[in-house]
Chains A and B, each alone.
Chain A
């Protein structure tokens, strides 16, 4: 696809799905394509440009893990050592868990620490160190290495560890060790630095009126910076970072960011999980089929996505400033990934089926982690499902569970749930259950990258 073709594709995907602004960049066949479309903010009407910085959300976890791997390379830290060895004051709600947690578990989502997001304590209280210390009060979703569930807490701790071992703030580490050597000039990791740039904000769509509203807040709690609360950049600068990983640690400007061995190690499967793994991953990279490694990002009114396909030397980043931007991601990413890797990272949900569910009571129960509660009930022999948030993080967070809807069996043995937000067909919840106890009742519910443990009937 040539430049104008790509610009056209970005414009039409943005308009079709009612998203205020999109910035996208891809690298294939040795060429870079960049396009930007729409507005940074519907309230100000400032135009999106390819220099505008946009939230990358959890894609930050790749940057965070790259810094940690640089420290591994420098001999400052070992992945297989317990975190407690480097931070003797490390405490968790479950005293048995803390000594078991290694540095690697922080970045491959197997620590089990149930600290997806804690309530925002306000500006001066939201520091990485204070957040790391707050995990002293949280429990476990699963025992260390006894499962894999996407874990923000682990990445916060990894960021804190880098800060502690180097004696520098995590923000300075990102600037000095990633942005500066890669010459990422349209990137900011501190909210106050973002003001230097043309900066985008998140938006929500009211599903009843279809009106787009700017998010009322810009960032998730800032103490979660190393999990992805604050970083913003242009799609072009994110592509520069991706290409550095594609080239096994050598940046487009020739700087070596990481050794080839450590760059490829980040992409290899990491961890030996004894329980349910909600997904496969390396060091931060989420491993998809067809040798694609990828990471998505979310935040208040934003979604973003990045992937690499080393075999064909393809990489892409798409950033949107809408909660409902997933359709734009799918529309831009799927054809690229299909063309180069023969695989679509945004599949449609599996088809519903007429399968009869044997012993449906095995699935009923309340399943939760610290941010969401899934309620599965049995009504007239049918499984019903409802989900609610534990804290208000987004303008669209549902603290009250909406009315329960039927859980429909899918052909692949999982279940389909209607979130009822009307965002997209891709918003259908695909739910699995695992690890039956002696009585046959499920210990875990899984949905996307998360595990939820059963806490009550």
Chain B
């Protein structure tokens, strides 16, 4: 397979970077026969080094699909069984909740149904941010929901899955990623360790100050390193990430002819997995992959000042990767991917936002309360017959993290439990959904994007 660079794609990408004030982006598309690459802008606004198709950029949580692939390789080898409780393999496992410690299965780690509430913990500094230390910190993590009873995007589950692979395979997780994923796929512009990334032309994240329109380089490069299997450290070129996506598109067979995964396991990763108890679900997923509309599977990635996305469409043999080095890069990704995917697959994976109702006649009294997970608190209040939402993060993760309560924004009813923010802001413009009402009709959870936030004081469903 030969990768070509088309001038058209480069021009489109240059224009999109300009339009969306994104410092740098890298794109790789596969249309069922050919790979097309393009890169635009700079790796870092401070150094001014140009972004190229060989530049390593953060892939963020897309790492979770690779981490799930590692686990499925071990399933293929008979070393792991998805249905087994994790504690069977890790007898010393200790979570905050005894039932969770006893019952969480391997599969629940990979399909975001474990409910372990440790989305991100404060950075403990280089020497303390090891995988083993992070797992030890989960000993006090509460549950957002009972294992298998709901689905909320769960970093902790993937970190635990990475730790499990490490213990079962007897190698450190970084080496597993290098030998079992990068080397088998023949990747040449990929690094999973910060110290290896320096060998390459590398990108860093950026933030846009909305008032001045100025871009600034992120003050730190990675999320806490102890979350590596959830995606804090992994960097690669769009082209190398596409190679990984193509191995999945071809049911486990890599473009270089080596087998990454059995056909059965590759297919299983894309099939719907859990939850089995009919609780609230914020999204549909397989193992690692997130399932979205029109038969696309995908995964997004975030990090300090970065956004990335990989999408595959098995029916039309289509795959697309866009990596950006801006916190606000999502609009660029949609702009660049949508025409390509629509042309290839006749549809796109991007959902449209719910719209506020013209004349809502909705009882708002069940909704007020404080909804939270371990990193974010959302305060929903009723003021002057309108629902308002204010948010804050509990610990500083990004330069843009809002540690103070945001000013309250109105939530406008959009029907069926959905609400939308009345004005663009860091958090308020996103759609929200109240879910899982208790006997009194009060929602146990508020969902936003892929996350559930539990109402403080809720009863068990």
**24 A-B interface contacts by CB (under 8 A):** A43-B200, A51-B47, A122-B172, A123-B193, A124-B130, A127-B127, A127-B128, A129-B127, A169-B127, A170-B127, A191-B193, A192-B126, A192-B194, A196-B44, A196-B204, A196-B217, A196-B218, A196-B219, A197-B47, A201-B198, A217-B195, A217-B196, A217-B199, A219-B195
CA distance in complex: A127, B132 (Å): 13
Cross-chain contact A196 with B221 (CB below 8 angstroms): yes
Cβ B198 vs Cβ A171 within 8 A = no
Q: Is the CB of A44 within 8 A of B54?
A: yes
Say yes or no: A124-B221 contact (C-beta < 8 A), given A44-B54, A171-B125, A171-B126. no
Chain B residue numbers with a CB within 8 Å of A170 are: 127
Chain A residues with Cβ below 8 Å from B126 are 127, 169, 171, 190, 192
A218 and B198: CB pair below 8 A? yes
Shortest distance from the beta carbon of B313 to any chain A beta carbon, whole Å: 33
How many residues does chain B have at the interface if contact means C-beta atoms less than 8 Å apart?
Answer: 34
Return chain B residues, CB-CB under 8 Å to A43.
199-200
Inter-chain CA distance A128–B47, complex, in Å, is 31
Provide the A159-200 mask, 1 if CB < 8 A to any CB of B, else 0.
000000000011110000000000000000011111111110
Per-residue CB proximity of B186-200 to A under 8 Å, as 1/0? 000000011111111
Decide if A41 is an interface residue (CB 8 Å cutoff). yes
- Pick the residue among B46, B47, B199 that contacts A201 (CB under 8 A): B199
- Supposing A123-B193, A124-B130 touch, asked if A46 and B175 sit within 8 A by C-beta, the answer is no
Cα of A365 to Cα of B364 in the assembled complex, Å: 89
Q: Is the CB of A123 within 8 A of B174?
A: yes
Q: Which residue on B lies nearest to A45, using beta carbons?
A: B201
Interface residues of B in 154-201 (CB under 8 A from A): 172-175, 193-201
**Pairwise interchain contact A122-B198, C-beta atoms closer than 8 A:** no
A-B pairs, top 6 by smallest CB distance, nearest first, are A127-B127, A124-B130, A191-B195, A192-B194, A44-B201, A198-B47
Instruction: Enumerate A197-244 residues with CB–CB distance to B below 8 Å.
Output: 197-199, 201, 214-219, 222
| Range for the number of chain A residues in contact with chain B | 20 to 34
Question: A122, B125: Cβ atoms under 8 Å?
Answer: no
Contacts A169-B127, A171-B126, A199-B198 given; indicate if A192 touches B49 (C-beta within 8 A).
no
Q: Give the distance in Å from the alpha carbon of A313 to the alpha carbon of B198 in the complex.
A: 36
CA distance A44 to B131 in the complex (A): 31
Residue of A nearest to B193 (CB): A123
In residues 215-235 of chain B, which contact A (Cβ within 8 Å)?
Answer: 217-222, 225
Identify the A interface with B (CB < 8 A). Answer: 41, 43-44, 46, 51, 122-125, 127-129, 169-172, 190-199, 201, 214-219, 222
Interface of chain A: mostly helix, strand, loop or mixed? loop
Q: Name the A residues within 8 Å of B198 (CB-CB).
A: 191, 194-195, 199, 201, 218
> A195–B198 Cα gap in the complex (Å)?
6
- Interface assignment of B53: CB less than 8 Å from any CB of chain A: no
Q: Give Cα distance in the complex from A44 to B47, angstroms.
A: 15
Distance from B235 Cβ to chain A, minimum over Cβ atoms (Å)? 9
- A122 near B195 with CB under 8 A, answer no
Task: Find out whether the CB atom of A44 lies under 8 angstroms from the CB atom of B194.
Answer: no
Assess whether B67 is interfacial by the CB under 8 Å rule.
no
B202 contacts partner chain A, Cβ-Cβ < 8 Å: yes
CB neighbours of A172 from chain B (8 A)? 125
Are A44 and B220 in contact, CB atoms less than 8 angstroms apart?
Answer: no
Residue among B47, B128, B198, B222 with the highest chain A CB neighbour number at 10 A: B198
> From residue B278, how far is it (CB to closest CB) to chain A in Å?
39
Q: How far is the CA of A218 from the CA of B202 in the complex (A)?
A: 14
Q: B175 to A193, Cβ gap below 8 A?
A: no
Question: Do residues A195 and B174 form an inter-chain contact, with CB atoms below 8 A?
Answer: no
The 8 Å CB contact of A124, one of B46, B131, B195, B200, is B131
Distance in Å from the Cβ of A21 to the closest Cβ of chain B?
14
A122 to B194, CA, bound (A): 12
Whole-angstrom CA separation of A146 from B37 in the bound complex: 63
Tell me the residues in window 126-153 of chain B with beta carbons closer than 8 Å to chain A beta carbons. 126-128, 130-132
Shortest CB–CB separation between residue B272 and chain A, in angstroms? 34
